[in-house]
Amino acid sequence: MDRIYLEVESQSRCAYGGLLAISVGGRTLSFRLDTVAARALQVDGEIRVELTRDDPATQAALAMLKRLATLDGIAFEECGT
The confidence band for 54, taking pLDDT boundaries of 50, 70 and 90, is confident
Q: What pTM, to 2 d.p., does this model score? A: 0.87
3-state secondary structure 10-30: EEEEEEECCEEEEEEECCEEE
Containing domain of residue 49, as a range? 5-79
For residue 24, what pLDDT is reported? Answer: 95
Cα dihedral 73/39/36/32 (nearest 10): -20
pLDDT in tens, 8-33: 999 999 999 899 999 999 899 999 99
How, if at all, do strands 46-50 and 28-33 pair? Answer: antiparallel
Residues in Cβ contact with 21 at an 8 Å cutoff, skipping those fewer than 6 apart:
30, 31, 32, 74, 75, 76, 77
